[in-house]
Amino acid sequence: MTDPATDSPTHTTPVKAGYRTTEFWLSAIAVLLGLVLASGAIPESGIVGQVIGGVLSVLANLGYTAARAKAKAGS
């Protein structure tokens, strides 16, 4: 029989700083694009574009937060 306590690896990879990850930069770009749309800086988009921009910014922030929480939890 094998001991389940010793079957798991004990070496963990250190978590990179947030600003050094791909998730950070992709979410930062998505947030900036969303803010540009939400601010009305692109006048052709209208109210629908502003709402989509706001939603895009919120979802990008939530996605990044979830990804970092998962990385720090070691999953």
What are 49-66's pLDDT values in tens digits?
788 888 888 988 898 888
Q: Please identify which residue in the block is written with the tokens 């910014």.
A: 57
Helices (H), 1-75: 4-7, 22-39, 46-73
pTM: 0.60
Q: Single out the residue of 75, 61, 54, 70 nearest to residue 26, CA to CA.
A: 61
- Provide the greatest CA pair distance for the chain: 68
pLDDT digits (tens, 9 = 90+) for 1-32: 555 555 555 666 777 777 788 888 888 888 88
Q: What is the pLDDT of residue 23?
A: 80
